[in-house]
Structures are given as structure tokens and as C-alpha cells.
């Protein structure tokens, strides 16, 4: 990773300022002599446990001004399964965009979009895009593929043993599926792919997880698979790990475009020219020009995919609806495409291959997050799939709104009026 001298020289100047080599060594070296004061940790969220942590924190006078904002003696027992070392809560404002009309495989209707954010202008933008899509009759949505993966890996003392092991795995896939099935009523192993590098073998295990996002579920199932393998394989690996970073978990990867992690969804909408002019104050042609230039800019800067700002809607909806916010790193990967149709209308499409979302388990059972999910009125059957289609529709609304704003030349003024000057 390159560091430019002229831009960053002042950091090294600060590091060496008023220091000899010995002083610098002393400042940066590890210190095992100073006493380490243990924090009263644990998973308890009852009043006694939380107050004990605050008693520790309040020994530092600077923390007193934060106590009331983070914790006022409220009952935090609902969070006990979701947090460790709990000291309170952080309040993030929640707004609603939409409703947005979705005509999908699983999501059919007009859906509100609860979004938790501290960024002014964000919900206004998604609301505008949602209204425009709905006025155009709604967006079509299809869930193309589904699967949550884990990638255990095994090291052998030779390629020959690796070949024997991989052949055994392929012959015993049904038994591995049974081992996974014993861990959950909903987790099912649907496929195993094999990749090798020298004497290292990676198994990419793909699961379905019902309405749960399923990260923990597939980890437990993969552990069971690996334990079955170790107990029965004719060739023992020298060592193995339940996850070896080949699954794409919580990172953007090229693998996103050849596989799926979570739910892969495509959405599209045709917007008549008169609606573009009315709501976005620009033309379909200028929006296509802006999208094309932005797409090339993304290629030149090396982005993973072609899109404007999926992370804005996904982060806001993930936080509001109890999803794993870190999964935005992989979920905000995809492709946006705009085209000018022969009748002058604007065609817009978004494809998201890595929507790790769920409507049960994890943070979805917390009071505020459950309220946001229920507000959306998702169908009772295939609820997580419907939620994924709505998330993709929200991303489409945001892409249309931001490109429209840039094409109309009001991107800066909108942020100035809604954020800085408000």
C-alpha cells in the first residue's frame, strides 16, 4: 500500500517531533508494567450488571456527561441475547420512505421503507425515488437464487491425499447433508463446491436457512459437517478450519457475480419521460448520459460492480430492521443499468447478488426492529425473500433519485438545503 511523500510527510514529522530514537522506541513499545484494570464484562443486561459497568466507567469524570444519554436505568433485558458488556443503547433516528410499489415473485404491494440514519437528505431522496417508481406502476422484482455459504478448508501432506479426500467428500454429500440437517429445523445443505490450491482443499458449502439470515446457523451446520468428515474420512488432514475466508463473508468479492451469498434479486422499472421531467426535473437522455459517465468512472476507480450508493439504503434498512449491519460490506455489491427506450422512456435495473437478510432471529426480535419489520406488512409466507425484493426495490429508488439529482444539477443544492442549512 503506497504512501505519498508530499501528502503524508507531516505524519512522520509528528512522530519524530522532539523525540530521540530511544524516546520513540519507548513511546511505541509494548508496556507490560503499567497495571491493566479489567472491565466488568459479561452478557448480563439486568440493572445490577449494567450499573456495575457504569460504576467502573464513572470513575473517569469525563464519562459522567455520557451516562444519561446512553443509559438511564431502563430495562435492557430484551437485548441480553444480542450484546455483551452492555452499558445502554444508542438512539438512531428512524424515518420512513415510500410506500414503494413492488410487483415481485414474493413481494406484492405497496411497502413502507423504515430507515435508520443520521444523514440528512437521505430519506428524502429515497422517498422521491419510491414515489416516482410507484407512479410509474411499480417495479418488477424476481429472486433469482438463494444460498448462505461457509468455506471450511483442509491441509494435507500431499496432493495425492487431497485427491482421495475430495473424491470421498463428493461420494458422501448426502451423509454430509444429513449431518447439517441434525443441527437445525431450517438449515439445509444444497450444494458443495471444491477448490484446491496445492495441498489445501476448500469446501464451499451452500445452505438455505428459511426466513433467517442464517450466518450463525450455517456456521453450526458446517462445524457438524466437518466433524463428520474428520470422524469418517479415509485420509486425515494435517489440520483444518471451519471457515477459511473463501465464502465472501462480510466483504465484496468477484465471487459475487458467479455465485450468490444470501439472496440474489433483480428489479426493473420503465419510467415515462413525462414522469422523469415532473419528479426529477431532467430528461431520460441526460440521466442515461450521467449513468454512463458514472459507470465508466467506477470502472476507472476499480469499484466492485457498477452502482451509485446501494450502501445508503441497505445500511439504513439493516439497522432499522435488525439485520447484521456488517453484511452491508457484501450486500452493497451489484450492477445498476439505465437505458433510453425507443418511446423515450427510461429503463432502470438493479441486480444485487448478496442480500444477506432475514426476518427471524438475530436483531429482528428486538422491540424497535420488530416494529419496523411489522410496519412493512410483509407477507407471512416466504417473508425473508419478500424482504430481499423490497430491499432491492429501495436500492433502485435510490439509484434513480441520485442520478436524477446529478443530471438535473441540483445534487449540491439539495444537500446544502436539507443538511447544512437546515
Active site residues: 119, 324, 415
SS (H, E, C) the chain: CCCCHHHHHHHHHHHHCCCCHHHHHHHHCCCCCCCCCCCCCCCCCCHHHHHHHHHHHCCCHHHHHHHHHHCCCCCCHHHCCCCCCCCCCCCCCEEEEEEEEEEECCCEEEEEEEEECCCCCHHHHHHHHHHHHHHCCCEEEEEEEEEEEECCEEECCCHHHHHHHHHHHHHCHHHHHHHHHCCCCCCEEEEEEEEEECCEEEEEEEEECCCECCHHHHHHHHHHHHHHHHHHCCCCCCEEECCCCCCCCCCCCHHHHCCCCEEEEEEEEEECHHHHHHHHCCCHHHHHHHHHHHHHHHHHHCCCEECCCHHHHHHHHHHHCCCCHHHHHHHCCEEEEEEECCCCCEEEEEEEEEECCCCECHHHHCHHHHHHHHHCCCCCCCHHHHHHHHHHHHHHHHHHHHHHHHHHCCHHHHHHHHHHCC
**Which residues lie across from 308 on neighbouring strands?**
none
Return the C-alpha cell found at 308: 451509485
Beta-carbon contacts of 171 under 8 Å, excluding residues fewer than 6 positions away, are: none
What is the length of the chain? 422
| Residues 407, 286 contacting (CB under 8 angstroms) | yes
Cα atoms in the Cβ-side hemisphere of radius 13 Å centred on 407:
25
Backbone angles phi, psi at 337, to 5 degrees: -135, 130
Amino acid at each position: 500500500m503506497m504512501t505519498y511523500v508530499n501528502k503524508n510527510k507531516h505524519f512522520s514529522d509528528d512522530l519524530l517531533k522532539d523525540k530521540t530514537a530511544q524516546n520513540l522506541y519507548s513511546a511505541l513499545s509494548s508496556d507490560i508494567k503499567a497495571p491493566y484494570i479489567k472491565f466488568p464484562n459479561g452478557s448480563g443486561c439486568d440493572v445490577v450488571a449494567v450499573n456495575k459497568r457504569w460504576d467502573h466507567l464513572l470513575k473517569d469524570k469525563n464519562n459522567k456527561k455520557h451516562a444519561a444519554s446512553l443509559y438511564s436505568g431502563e430495562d435492557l433485558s430484551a437485548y441480553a441475547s444480542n450484546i455483551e458488556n452492555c452499558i445502554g443503547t444508542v438512539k438512531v433516528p428512524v424515518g420512513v420512505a415510500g410506500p414503494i410499489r413492488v410487483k415481485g415473485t414474493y413481494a406484492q404491494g405497496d411497502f413502507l421503507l423504515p430507515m435508520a440514519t443520521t444523514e440528512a437528505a437521505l430519506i428524502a431522496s429515497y422517498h422521491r425515488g419510491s414515489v416516482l417508481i410507484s407512479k410509474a406502476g411499480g417495479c418488477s422484482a424476481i429472486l433469482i437464487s438463494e444460498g448462505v455459504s461457509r468455506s471450511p478448508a483442509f491441509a494435507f501432506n500431499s496432493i495425492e491425499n487431497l485427491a482421495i479426500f475430495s473424491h470421498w467428500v463428493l461420494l458422501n454429500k448426502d451423509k454430509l447433508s444429513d449431518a447439517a440437517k441434525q443441527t437445525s429445523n431450517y438449515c439445509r445443505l444444497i450444494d458443495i463446491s471444491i477448490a484446491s490450491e496445492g495441498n489445501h482443499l476448500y469446501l464451499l458449502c451452500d445452505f438455505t436457512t428459511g426466513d433467517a439470515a442464517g450466518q450463525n446457523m450455517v456456521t453450526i451446520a458446517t462445524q457438524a459437517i466437518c466433524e463428520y468428515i474428520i470422524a469418517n474420512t479415509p485420509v486425515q488432514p494435517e489440520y483444518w478450519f471451519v471457515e477459511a475466508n473463501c465464502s465472501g463473508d462480510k466483504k465484496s468479492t468477484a465471487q459475487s457475480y458467479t455465485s450468490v451469498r444470501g439472496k440474489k434479486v433483480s428489479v426493473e422499472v420503465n419510467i415515462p419521460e413525462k414522469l422523469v421531467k415532473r419528479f426529477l426535473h431532467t430528461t431520460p437522455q441526460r440521466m442515461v448520459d450521467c449513468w454512463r459517465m458514472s459507470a465508466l468512472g467506477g470502472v476507472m476507480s476499480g469499484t466492485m460492480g457498477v452502482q451509485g450508493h446501494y450502501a445508503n439504503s441497505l445500511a439504513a434498512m439493516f439497522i432499522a430492521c435488525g439485520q447484521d449491519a456488517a453484511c452491508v460490506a457484501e450486500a452493497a455489491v451489484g450492477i445498476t443499468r439505465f437505458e433510453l427506450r425507443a418511446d423515450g422512456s427510461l429503463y432502470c435495473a438493479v441486480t444485487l447478488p448478496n442480500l444477506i437478510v432475514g426476518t427471524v432471529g438475530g436483531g429482528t426480535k428486538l422491540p424497535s426492529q420488530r416494529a419496523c419489520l411489522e410496519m412493512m406488512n410483509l407477507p407471512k409466507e416466504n417473508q425473508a425473500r419478500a424482504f430481499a425484493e423490497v430491499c432491492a426495490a429501495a436500492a433502485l429508488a435510490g439509484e434513480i433519485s441520485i442520478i436524477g439529482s446529478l443530471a438535473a444539477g441540483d445534487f449540491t443544492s439539495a444537500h446544502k438545503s436539507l443538511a447544512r442549512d437546515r
